[in-house]
């Protein structure tokens, strides 16, 4: 819109130049008459009239001041206009990692001032969280340090990254400011020189056509002169327009040309008013306000005055529409303030929860870890809650820090009390280290391995030791254990050669066993099967990964047992004996113990079942038809007999397993 308006102004200037040339009076040296002066219109008088109207309506002043201040600031540095294109996020809700990532992204722009406000907000939010973290770390250090001369140190890679990125921004900003200050001064000098040249245009000795050409050149130079310091903005613009109007008055611009100029200016200002009326329906209030700033800039800087009869009316209308958009903006701000108030309530609730956690007494490290996790979660919620009203921001932050500090003090008092326990734990672990070092060269692997495993379990059961010694004793213990188990591994590797040979022998023996045929003589066949079992055992253990061959052997045995006319109990006991022999060969006492527990449970289950069935028989014996046992009673008696036979088998198995343990 601004570029289009400038084109229109150039066309208007051309028309005015022609009119002025045709309407020059002969006596150019004559001073301005009072009548001409009355007709004279300068920008200062217009601004004064407008400001007077605003003064009469104080409620409009804040709207106009907001726009004037913004335009003056953006006139100083045009890159500030681009800051509106980058959304200002609620950086208070970002984590420290996210803030560093956002900073890294923003410093990549060449328009350093367009991200200045964003980066300063990021810095504020990051340092707020970082300083709070440092306070906590320092309190923890002071609570746990044993040497009073030890000084607190804390290094954060994240803080180093932040400083690196922020220094890049700061350097860019300094270069920009240095360049900007040079340009602002140069541009200001250029504009003041233009104003001085305007003053000198009122020269009766100069040809009027040359004067007009010089005047149009000055206007073009003014348009391209660039930004100036914001504190000079209004003064320089008003001074320029004042001397432009003086030049018009000096030329005795005829009324017709002046009316055309007024009419054209009126038309342009009416177009601006029409656009502002459209902006009232814009849903993006911030976008509408930014465009309103541009329209005010055009109204003031690019468009000249209108006739007196329209001047107040059109200005008041423009001012009133400005006030409406400003009011909508205030409603938006009010909504934001309501959100901030809601955030305040959330943060107060979070502070209250932390205060409660700072009074809940717990008596173990694991419970304190839960409490610490809760506070960490609440702290993250606090930072994610967003902004609070600025007038209570410091107070809220102080309350939050106090609640966290009190919790940490309460926590630290617990850990001070358990320092004695940690020293006791240190002594226990040092004893285990000594024991592990003593056993690390042992070659009695059968006796030493369970002991080494036991002291590893004991190590796990012992609590924390002072941090100062933790890494050192753990390394000593781990090295001793690793040294022993590495030797055990080498030993097992040597044993594996024999186990592989045993596997190959057993694999070949399976073929012999598959080809074996029973003779039909019970004793001969039974002795032969027992001999096969003894031969199989004689080959020894096979590698663990090839234990499946034992299952194949047992399947062949099961098939042979089925062909023999053995009782069910004999078959079951022979199978069990073979299985127990396999377990005992593996030296796995845990599996033998589990088998014993299993047998005892089965015996108890069968006994309970027999007891229940016998109770059922008693019930039927007390009925009227007790003399005549029906099919149900007979079935129950049959089940009792089966269970008793099974009970004898389970008991014999347990007895056999116990005898093995005594051996």
- Phi, psi angles (nearest 5°) of residue 394: -65, -40
Please report the DSSP string for 130-168 in residue order: HHHHHHHHHHHHHHH-S-TTPPP----HHHHHHHHHHHH
Residue 15: per-residue pLDDT: 33
The whole-angstrom separation of Cα 8 and Cα 2 is 10
- Phi, psi angles (nearest 5°) of residue 107: -75, -5
Q: Is the pTM of this model over 0.85?
A: no
Torsion of CA 522, 524, 527, 533, to 10 degrees: -90
- Which helix (H) or strand (E) segment is 447 a member of? helix 445-461
Please report the DSSP string for 72-100 in residue order: HHHHH-GGGGGGGGS----GGGS-HHHHH
Q: Residues 6 or more apart from 89 whose CB is under 8 A from it?
A: 102, 118
The whole-angstrom separation of Cα 574 and Cα 513 is 17
Contact 414, 457 (CB under 8 A): no
Instruction: Profile the chain (663 residues) by mean pLDDT over runs of 10 residues.
Output: 34 34 32 31 38 47 63 55 63 81 81 78 83 77 67 82 84 77 81 85 70 80 79 81 73 63 86 90 84 83 78 87 85 82 89 88 83 88 84 86 87 77 86 90 85 90 84 91 85 72 86 82 79 82 78 81 67 71 65 80 85 77 57 80 81 77 57
The whole-angstrom separation of Cα 100 and Cα 119 is 10
Q: How many CA atoms lie within 13 A of 161 on its CB side?
A: 15
Residue 64: per-residue pLDDT: 66
Contact 595, 577 (CB under 8 A): no
Cα–Cα nearest to 208, from 488, 392, 17? 17
Q: Which residue has the tokens 């100036």?
A: 228
Q: Which two tokens stand for residue 294?
A: 């541009």
- Per DSSP, 587 falls in state T
Going 272 to 276 to 277 to 279, the CA torsion angle's sign is positive
Q: Residues 6 or more apart from 102 whose CB is under 8 A from it?
A: 89, 91, 94, 122
Alpha helices in 232-364 (DSSP H): 233-250, 255-279, 285-301, 308-357
Residue 79: per-residue pLDDT: 55
């Amino acid at each position: 819109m601004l570029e289009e308006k400038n084109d229109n102004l150039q066309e208007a200037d051309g028309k005015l130049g022609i009119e002025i040339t045709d309407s020059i009076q002969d006596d150019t040296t004559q001073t301005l008459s009072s009548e001409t002066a009355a007709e004279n219109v300068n920008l200062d008088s217009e601004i004064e009239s407008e400001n007077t109207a605003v003064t009469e309506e104080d409620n409009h002043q804040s709207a106009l001041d907001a726009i004037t201040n913004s335009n003056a600031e953006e006139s100083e540095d045009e890159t500030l206009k681009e800051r509106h294109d980058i959304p200002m996020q609620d950086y208070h809700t970002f984590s420290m990692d996210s803030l560093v990532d956002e900073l890294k992204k923003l410093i990549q722009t060449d328009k350093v001032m367009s991200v200045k406000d964003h980066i300063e907000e990021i810095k504020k939010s990051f340092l707020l969280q970082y300083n709070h973290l440092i306070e906590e770390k320092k309190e923890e250090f002071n609570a746990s340090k044993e040497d009073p001369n030890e000084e607190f140190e804390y290094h954060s890679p994240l803080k180093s990254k932040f400083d690196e990125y922020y220094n890049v921004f700061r350097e860019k900003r300094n270069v920009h400011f240095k360049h900007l200050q040079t340009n602002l001064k140069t541009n200001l000098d250029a504009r003041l020189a233009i104003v001085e040249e305007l003053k000198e245009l009122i020269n009766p000795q100069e040809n009027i056509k040359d004067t007009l050409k010089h005047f149009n050149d000055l206007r073009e130079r003014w348009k391209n002169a660039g930004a100036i310091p914001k504190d000079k903005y209004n003064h320089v613009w008003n001074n320029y327009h004042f001397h432009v109007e003086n030049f018009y008055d000096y030329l005795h611009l005829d009324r017709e040309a002046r009316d055309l100029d007024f009419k054209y200016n009126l038309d342009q200002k009416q177009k601006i008013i029409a656009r502002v009326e459209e902006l009232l329906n814009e849903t993006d209030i911030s976008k509408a306000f930014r465009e309103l700033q541009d329209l005010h800039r055009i109204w003031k800087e690019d468009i000249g005055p209108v006739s007196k009869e329209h001047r107040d009316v059109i200005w008041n209308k423009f001012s009133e529409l400005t006030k409406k958009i400003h009011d909508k903006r205030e409603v938006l701000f009010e909504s934001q303030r309501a959100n901030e108030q809601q955030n305040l309530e959330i943060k107060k609730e979070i502070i209250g929860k932390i205060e409660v956690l700072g009074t809940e007494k717990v008596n173990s490290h694991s419970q304190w870890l839960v409490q610490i996790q809760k506070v960490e979660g609440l702290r993250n919620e606090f930072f994610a809650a967003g902004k609070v009203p600025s007038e209570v921001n410091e107070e809220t932050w102080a309350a939050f820090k106090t609640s966290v500090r009190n919790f940490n003090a309460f926590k630290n008092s617990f850990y001070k009390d358990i320092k004695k326990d940690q020293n006791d734990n240190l002594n226990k672990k040092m004893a285990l280290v000594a024991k592990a070092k003593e056993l690390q060269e042992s070659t009695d692997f059968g006796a030493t391995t369970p002991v080494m495993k036991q002291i590893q379990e004991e190590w796990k059961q012992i609590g924390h030791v002072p941090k100062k010694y933790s890494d050192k004793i753990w390394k000593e213990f781990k090295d001793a254990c690793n040294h022993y188990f590495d030797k055990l591994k080498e030993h097992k590797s040597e044993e594996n050669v024999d186990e592989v040979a045993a596997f190959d022998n057993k694999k070949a023996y399976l073929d012999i066993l598959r080809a074996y045929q029973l003779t039909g003589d019970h004793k001969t066949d039974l002795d032969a099967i027992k001999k096969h079992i003894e031969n199989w055992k004689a080959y020894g253990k096979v590698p663990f990964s090839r234990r499946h061959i034992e299952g194949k052997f047992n399947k062949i045995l099961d098939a042979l047992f089925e062909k023999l006319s053995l009782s069910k109990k004999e078959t079951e006991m022979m199978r069990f004996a073979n299985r127990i022999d396999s377990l005992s060969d593996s030296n796995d006492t845990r599996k033998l113990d589990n088998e014993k527990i299993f047998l005892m449970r089965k015996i108890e289950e069968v006994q309970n079942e027999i007891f229940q069935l016998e109770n059922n028989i008693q019930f039927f014996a007390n009925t009227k038809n007790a003399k005549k046992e029906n099919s149900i009673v007979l079935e129950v008696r049959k089940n009792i007999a089966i269970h008793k036979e099974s009970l004898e088998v389970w008991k014999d198995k347990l007895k056999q397993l116990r005898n093995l343990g005594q051996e």
